[in-house]
Amino acid sequence: MARLTRLPANLNAFLDMIGYSEGTIHIPGSDDGYLTIVGSTRKNPILMSGYKDHPRRVIDLGHGLKSTAAGKYQILQRNYDAYKEHLGLSDFSPQSQDKIAIHLLYECKAIRPILAGQFAKAVHACRSRWASLPGSPHGQHTNEIDGLIAVYRSCGGEVVA
């Protein structure tokens, strides 16, 4: 669950769905995904040692793909650096990660559809930000929309038909 308090239920559920889709929330010892570094698996967790800063590690994922993604929402180092000052962040804590993810959702115009329960429209709007979402242009494994809707609903999100 997002660590920011008083978030609307649909936004909270959407954030948890992103963590699920990115594969971070089920990593052992990951603090609900917030300590996860890209490339982690249940059998081989790669975790940050704390929340003072983005881990700033480049992980070779094979096939010529390298990434600095970290945290529940797999935030790239360049995005953290760009938003740290803009959002007044002092660390890479769960609250800071939530703020960055929400800002990314705002930038891609996904907030209104999320709040309105327009799940598919929201996913479509932010698919360029998260490689695991259906329709992502990043050429990586993506999840099916029906499975993500089920996760979203199980996290308390409401879908309007």
For the CA atoms of the chain, what is the radius of gyration?
15
Distance in angstroms between the alpha carbons of the first and the last residue of the chain? 25
Among all residues, which ones are annotated catalytic? 22
Reported residue count of the chain is 161
Q: For residue 59, how far is the Cα from the chain centroid? A: 18
* CB-side neighbour CA atoms (13 Å) of 136: 18
